[in-house]
């Protein structure tokens, strides 16, 4: 085939395969003068190719990865002689690629014999003078990268070495809220580290929040950085709203627990004060002091009532379907007097505004609280606007506001031109006892009551405000069918010591002195007070400090039990379970529930269905005696099937 002797350099990392290739080349010597000048069984890199002057290199390569392909290409470029690649890969596309990178030929391992190997090596040597220089490594085509950047939902900015923008995609234009001509050539605030959250200022809009990631690429043939901005503005906003809802629920639970215990203490204070007042005359020096204590207890009871409005999960009483404008229009005169001459009250109450189902008294208190806050924020001069409208809350809106419900609503917007507030204050304004007023000028319960009123009516409240730009409260209330006629506004409930009753002063007027009362109360001082009050008026009292003991006491009592007075929340057995078990054996017993906070266990409507009465603490002794007497005068009215 050829009379000239040719040297072959074998580069094969597998020792067995290397020896086999060497034997095949030696056997081919009969066909052509070939011999192995060097056989290397180590991992060979281009600089390690020996310099014995081979005529051809037989190189084993995997070709399974791009890295292996680049190694073969580097060897082909560095070698002065042709390179024949031997590979186990049967992928023709990779064979063509390795030849494109400069290999003279590519053989699949062990698909050839001695003659085929010899022919391939000699042809590679003969073609060597005429073969082209190894093709340069192909430059990456960035058209695919450009398409990815353009269509990415994340904002992507291409930066040069100096940190100036060379290219922005459409998502970046939306994130920065600026056109490309303004962005190209401007610089970003470096350093931008991977995973960092950055604020992006936007003209006329709140800052956006984004998490960044940086990738180094070639862009238009020059090194560049791709900075990817993943917009988390809405995610952070939703996270804040969810955390706020969870926090408000937790504060409500805490408030309910505090109110329950505080109501027990107020019952003790106001009750023993009333007992003491009944035993002295008005001329006694202690009469005035006891009166002040009673008034302080009443004021404290009102504060606790506001706390319970914030936290109590059950529906408020005295709900009526009313036109919202019908409630607001008569309030205009009283609100103007409250605001003063320096504040202009404006109303926008369209005739088509729908109706809502609320407690009219609580709605009036809510609007009054908001108007009072607005007056203080405007320092006596400005404008307060009341506006109503019909709105339909969508499911998309609910996804962003966890405490909202979808459907038709009526929204009451109350806007002032006062000093406004920043986001930090706006996040806390509905929390009980939070106030920005000086010490002694506010309890911090007004807006908590507003929040409680709206939430208990299945509504939703938001606030829009900024320093120096005033404040707007939006109260969303579910829309209901229009009422047949507007109900009369119910009178506000009396405070504990305002209930007129002469029972304590006239204990001899009791008509049925042989009445037995079973008293179940876990608070010892309250139990002592109620026992004393009832016994003073001639009732026979048997008592216990929890529901289980009260039931045991009743089982051991041979006489007739007329009335059960029981706290709702007690250890071992709650008052409602006690009433059910007692009525199972004594169906004629009358039931009076007392509670500082029923915690959703029972409300007035449920108690009425059971033929019972719910008496909220704190209550005066007179009030308790009045309820007991009224219960004794009424026939037993247990709901069908017994208490539920």
Q: What is the DSSP string of 527-596?
A: HHHHHHHHHHTT-EEEEESSHHHHHHHHHH--S---EEEEESS-SSS-HHHHHHHHHHH-TT-EEEEEES
Instruction: Decide whether 320-480 matches 510-633 in CATH topology.
Output: no
Question: Rounded distance, CA 610 to CA 605, Å?
Answer: 9
Q: What angle is formed at CA 10 by the lines to CA 6 and CA 13, rounded to 5 degrees? A: 180
Reduced to 3 states, what is the DSSP secondary structure of residue 613? Answer: strand
H/E element, 15: helix 15-27
What does the pLDDT read at residue 41?
62
Among 408, 412, 547, 382, smallest CA distance to 474 is for: 412
Q: Are 455 and 388 in contact (CB under 8 A)?
A: no
- Distance between CA atoms of 265 and 287, rounded to whole angstroms? 21
496 pLDDT band, cuts 50/70/90, is: very low
Identify the residue with better confidence: 128 or 575: 575
Identify the CATH number of the domain defined by range 320-480: 3.30.565.10
Question: Under 8 Å CB-to-CB from 111, ≥6 apart: which residues?
Answer: none
Q: What's the average model confidence in pLDDT over 24-34?
A: 74
Q: Which of 104-113, 241-250, 355-364, 367-376 has the lowest mean pLDDT?
A: 241-250
Q: Please give the helix or strand (H or E) that residue 77 lies within, else none.
A: helix 66-78
What b/e string do you get for 46-61 counting C-beta neighbours within 10 Å, with b at 16 or more? eeebeeeebbbbbbbb
Q: Where are the alpha helices (DSSP H) in 222-359?
A: 233-278, 285-311, 324-328, 331-339
Comparing 199 with 643, the larger pLDDT belongs to: 199
What pLDDT was estimated at residue 491? 44
Residue 156, pLDDT > 80, answer yes
In terms of Cα–Cα distance, which of 72, 95, 83 is closest to 124? 83
Joined tokens for residue 78:
């560095």
Burial class (CB in 10 A: 0-12, 13-18, 19+), 538: middle
What's the confidence (pLDDT) of residue 346? Answer: 92
- 42 versus 208: the higher-pLDDT residue is 208
Query: Does domain 510-633 sit in CATH 3.40.30.10?
Result: no
What is the arithmetic mean of pLDDT over 25-48?
64
Report, as an integer, the average pLDDT of 70-84: 81
Whether pTM > 0.75 for this model: the answer is no
Q: Distances in Å between the alpha carbon of 45 and those of 55, 71, 78, 88, 164?
A: 19, 8, 10, 20, 40
CATH class of 6-130: alpha beta
State the virtual CA torsion across 268, 274, 276, 277 in degrees, nearest 10.
160
By mean pLDDT, which of 146-150, 251-255, 441-445, 636-640 is the weakest?
Answer: 636-640
Four-way CATH pick for 240-311: 1.10.10.60, 2.40.10.10, 1.20.58.390, 1.10.287.130: 1.10.287.130
**What phi and psi values does residue 410 have, to the nearest 5 degrees?**
-110, 130
Cis amide linkage into residue 228, ω under 30° from 0: no
- Upstream peptide bond of 99 is cis (omega within 30 degrees of 0): no
Give the percent of the chain with pLDDT over 70: 79
Strand order in the sheet with 590-595: 540-544, 516-520, 563-567, 590-595, 612-616
Residue 492's CB is within 10 A of a number of other CB atoms, namely 10
In this prediction, residue 141 carries a pLDDT of: 57
Within 8 A by CB and 6+ apart from 54, the residues are: 7, 8, 9, 37, 38, 81
Name the average pLDDT for the chain.
78
SS (H, E, C) 161-211: CCCEEEEECHHHHHHHCCCHHHHCCCECCCCCCCCCEEEEEECCEEEEEEE
CA angle 302, 320, 627 (to 5 degrees): 50
CA separation for the pair 255, 266 (Å, rounded) = 16
β-bridge partners, 6: 34
Q: In the predicted model, is pLDDT for residue 403 greater than 90?
A: no
Put residue 382 in one of left, alpha, beta given phi > 0 → left and psi -120 to 50 → alpha: left
Domain spans, the chain: 6-130, 143-231, 240-311, 320-480, 510-633
Q: What is the mean pLDDT of residues 602-627?
A: 83
Q: β-strand 83-87 against 105-108: which pairing, if any?
A: parallel
Q: How far is residue 417's CA from residue 342's CA, in Å, rounded to a whole number?
A: 12
Query: Which letter, b or e, does each residue of 103-123 get, where b requires 16 or more Cβ atoms within 10 Å of its Cβ?
Result: bbbbbeeeeeebeebbbbbbb
pLDDT at residue 492, as a whole number: 43
Hey, what are 453's tokens? 């009123």
Q: For 546-587, how does the pLDDT look when each residue is reduced to its tens digit (9 = 90+)?
A: 888 999 999 999 889 999 999 888 888 888 899 999 999 999
| CA distances, 268 to each of 507, 517, 617, 619, 621 (Å) | 21, 19, 10, 9, 10
- Its CATH class, for the domain covering 143-231, is alpha beta
């Amino acid at each position: 085939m050829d009379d000239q002797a040719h040297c072959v350099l074998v580069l094969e990392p597998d020792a067995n395969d290397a020896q086999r290739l060497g034997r095949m080349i030696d056997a081919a010597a009969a066909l052509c003068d070939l011999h192995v000048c060097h056989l290397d069984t180590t991992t060979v890199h281009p600089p390690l190719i020996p310099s014995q002057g081979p005529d051809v290199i037989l190189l084993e390569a995997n070709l399974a990865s791009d890295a292996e392909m680049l190694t073969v290409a580097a060897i082909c470029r560095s070698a002065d002689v042709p390179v024949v690649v031997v590979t186990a890969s049967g992928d023709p596309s990779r064979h063509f690629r390795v030849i494109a990178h400069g290999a003279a030929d590519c053989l699949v391992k062990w698909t050839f014999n001695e003659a085929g190997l010899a022919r391939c090596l000699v042809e590679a040597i003969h073609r060597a003078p005429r073969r082209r220089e190894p093709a340069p490594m192909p430059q990456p085509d960035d058209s695919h990268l450009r398409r990815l950047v353009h269509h990415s939902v994340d904002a992507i900015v291409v930066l040069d070495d100096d940190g100036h923008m060379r290219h922005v995609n459409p998502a970046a234009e939306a994130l920065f809220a600026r056109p490309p001509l303004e962005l190209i050539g401007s610089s970003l605030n470096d350093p931008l580290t991977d995973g960092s959250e950055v604020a992006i200022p936007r003209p006329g809009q709140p800052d956006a929040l984004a998490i960044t990631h940086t990738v180094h690429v070639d862009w238009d043939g020059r090194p560049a950085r791709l900075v990817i901005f993943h917009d988390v503005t809405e995610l952070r906003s939703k996270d804040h709203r969810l955390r706020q809802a969870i926090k408000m629920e937790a504060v409500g639970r805490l408030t309910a627990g505090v109110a329950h215990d505080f109501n027990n203490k107020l019952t003790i204070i106001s009750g023993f004060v009333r007992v003491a007042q009944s035993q002295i005359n008005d001329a006694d020096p202690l009469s005035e002091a006891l009166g002040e204590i009673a008034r302080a207890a009443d004021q404290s009871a009102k504060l606790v009532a506001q706390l319970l409005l914030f936290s109590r999960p059950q529906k408020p009483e005295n709900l009526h379907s009313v036109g919202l404008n019908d409630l607001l229009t008569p309030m205009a005169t009283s609100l103007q007097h409250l605001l003063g001459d320096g504040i202009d009250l404006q109303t926008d109450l369209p005739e088509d505004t729908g109706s809502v189902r609320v407690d009219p008294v609580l709605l009036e208190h809510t609007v009054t609280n908001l108007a009072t806050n607005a007056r203080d924020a405007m320092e006596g001069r400005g404008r307060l606007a009341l506006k109503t409208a019909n709105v339909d809350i969508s499911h998309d809106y609910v996804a962003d506001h966890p405490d909202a419900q979808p459907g038709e609503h009526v929204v009451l917007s109350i806007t002032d031109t006062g000093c406004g507030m920043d986001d930090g204050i706006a996040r806390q304004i509905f929390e009980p006892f939070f106030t920005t007023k000086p010490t002694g000028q506010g309890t911090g319960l007004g807006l908590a009551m507003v929040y409680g009123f709206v939430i208990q009516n299945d509504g939703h409240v938001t606030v829009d405000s900024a320093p120096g730009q005033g404040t707007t409260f939006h109260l969303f209330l579910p829309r209901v069918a229009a009422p047949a006629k507007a109900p009369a506004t119910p009178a506000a409930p009396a405070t504990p010591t305002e209930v007129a009753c002469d029972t304590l002063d006239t204990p001899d007027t009791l008509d049925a002195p042989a009445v037995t009362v079973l008293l179940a109360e876990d608070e010892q001082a309250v139990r002592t007070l109620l026992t004393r009050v009832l016994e003073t008026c001639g009732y026979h009292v048997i008592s216990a400090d929890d529901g289980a003991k009260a039931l045991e006491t009743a089982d051991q009592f041979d006489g007739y039990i007329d009335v059960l007075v029981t706290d709702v929340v007690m250890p071992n057995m709650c008052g409602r379970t006690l009433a059910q078990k007692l009525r199972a054996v004594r169906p004629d017993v009358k039931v009076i529930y007392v509670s500082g906070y029923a915690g959703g266990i029972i409300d007035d409507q449920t108690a009425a269905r059971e033929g019972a009465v719910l008496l909220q603490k704190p209550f005066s002794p007179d009030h308790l005696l009045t309820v007991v007497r009224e219960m004794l005068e009424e026939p037993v009215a247990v709901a069908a099937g017994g208490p539920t």
